[in-house]
């Protein structure tokens, strides 16, 4: 199988976000970055499919020069080669723009299967994979928890609400967005890290970017406040006082 995996570089979860002066994003000079976790599960699933059915795995990312870090990490884990759509404006782009440039970079290779993570840890829109499928003209399924490859199709298990699941069969080529926890992640070995240095990374520089449809107006970090009120009296009196405050102050009861 000829498989593509789209991965994204996002700020690490342990890093305390600092808002930039324009209040439209984080201060990148203060941040550390890592591979988006749902994309890591998509990569692992692609590697397992290659091990069972043969073929190759190509990882693709869209971002500034620093995003090459996640490509090298993916190559060290076992991907065969990489594609880097490089532009400094991409971190601020919306899902539509990112999907458009990814589609332009992947279209000519005619992959049998394209995998993305369900959503990104930084923006969490969950739209890039869906829009990418539309741009590539591929059938797609979201929130995938299991993949079975058939002769000319795939059968996938989708997670629904309320503990329900749905099995869907898609003709190949197709695109799926993968839910975190679908598998057990592997980590790069020393041998893999050394081998990754010799693997090809094709750089694509877009001549222009499509117009963004969504923009960030303002960001703010949640403020931590601590306001404790002690309600005295008997249990019945304290309960009546609590109900009154929930009605009049918190306005969560009618």
Which tens digit of pLDDT belongs to each residue from 87-124?
Answer: 998 988 889 999 999 999 999 999 999 999 999 888 88
Asked if residue 190 is part of any domain, the answer here is yes
**Can you give the pLDDT at residue 92?**
84
Peptide linkage before 177 cis (omega within 30 of 0): no
For residues 22 and 144, state if they share a domain: yes
For residues 248 and 159, state if they share a domain: no
- For the four alpha carbons of 63, 209, 81 and 6, in that order, the dihedral sign comes to positive
For residues 94 and 180, state if they share a domain: yes
Asked if residue 128 is part of any domain, the answer here is yes
Residue 219: band (very low, low, confident or very high) from pLDDT cuts 50, 70, 90: confident
pLDDT above 80 for 208:
yes
For residues 145 and 22, state if they share a domain: yes
pLDDT above 80 for 16:
no
For residues 186 and 67, state if they share a domain: yes
Looking at per-residue pLDDT, the higher value among 244 and 31 belongs to: 244
Query: Domain containing 85 — which CATH number?
Result: 3.40.50.620
For residues 102 and 190, state if they share a domain: yes
Asked if residue 220 is part of any domain, the answer here is no
For residues 59 and 108, state if they share a domain: yes
pLDDT above 90 for 57:
yes
Tokens (6 digits) for 149: 């490859």
**Can you give the pLDDT at residue 246?**
87
How many alpha carbons fall within 13 Å on the CB side of residue 46? 36
Place of tokens 């893999």: 192
**Can you give the pLDDT at residue 93?**
87
Determine the Cα–Cα distance for residues 145 and 182; give it in Å rounded to an integer: 5
For residues 125 and 174, state if they share a domain: yes
pTM of the model: 0.83
- Domain of residue 237 covers 226-254
For residues 145 and 239, state if they share a domain: no
For residues 97 and 135, state if they share a domain: yes
> Quick one: average pLDDT of 199-218?
87
**Structural domains counted in the chain:** 2
pLDDT above 80 for 161:
yes
pLDDT above 80 for 37:
yes
For residues 60 and 145, state if they share a domain: yes
pLDDT above 80 for 142:
yes
Phi, psi angle pair for 10, to nearest 5°: -130, 160
Are the C-beta atoms of residues 4 and 173 closer than 8 Å to each other?
no
Asked if residue 221 is part of any domain, the answer here is no
Q: What is the mean pLDDT of the chain?
A: 91
Determine the Cα–Cα distance for residues 10 and 128; give it in Å rounded to an integer: 15
């Amino acid at each position: 199988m000829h498989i593509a995996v789209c991965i994204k570089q996002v700020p690490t979860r342990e890093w305390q976000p600092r808002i930039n002066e324009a209040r439209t994003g984080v201060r990148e000079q203060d941040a550390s970055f890592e591979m988006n976790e749902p994309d890591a599960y998509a990569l692992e699933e692609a590697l397992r499919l290659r091990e069972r059915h043969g073929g190759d795995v190509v990882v693709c990312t869209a971002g500034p020069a620093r995003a090459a870090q996640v490509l090298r990490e993916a190559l060290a884990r076992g991907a065969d080669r990489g594609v880097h759509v490089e532009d400094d404006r991409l971190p601020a782009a919306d899902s539509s723009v990112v999907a458009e440039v990814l589609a332009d970079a992947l279209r000519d290779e005619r992959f049998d299967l394209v995998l993305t993570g369900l959503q990104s840890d930084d923006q969490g829109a969950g739209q890039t994979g869906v829009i990418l499928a539309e741009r590539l003209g591929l059938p797609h399924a979201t929130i995938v928890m299991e993949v079975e490859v058939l002769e000319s199709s795939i059968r996938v298990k989708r997670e629904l609400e309320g503990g329900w699941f749905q099995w869907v069969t898609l003709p190949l080529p197709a695109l799926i967005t993968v839910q975190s926890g679908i598998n057990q992640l592997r980590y790069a070995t020393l041998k893999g890290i050394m081998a990754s240095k010799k693997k090809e990374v094709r750089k694509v520089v877009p001549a222009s970017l499509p117009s963004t449809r969504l923009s960030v107006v303002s960001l703010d970090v949640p403020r931590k406040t601590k306001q404790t009120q002690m309600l005295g009296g008997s249990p019945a009196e304290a309960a009546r006082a609590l109900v009154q405050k929930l009605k009049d102050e918190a306005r969560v009861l009618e």
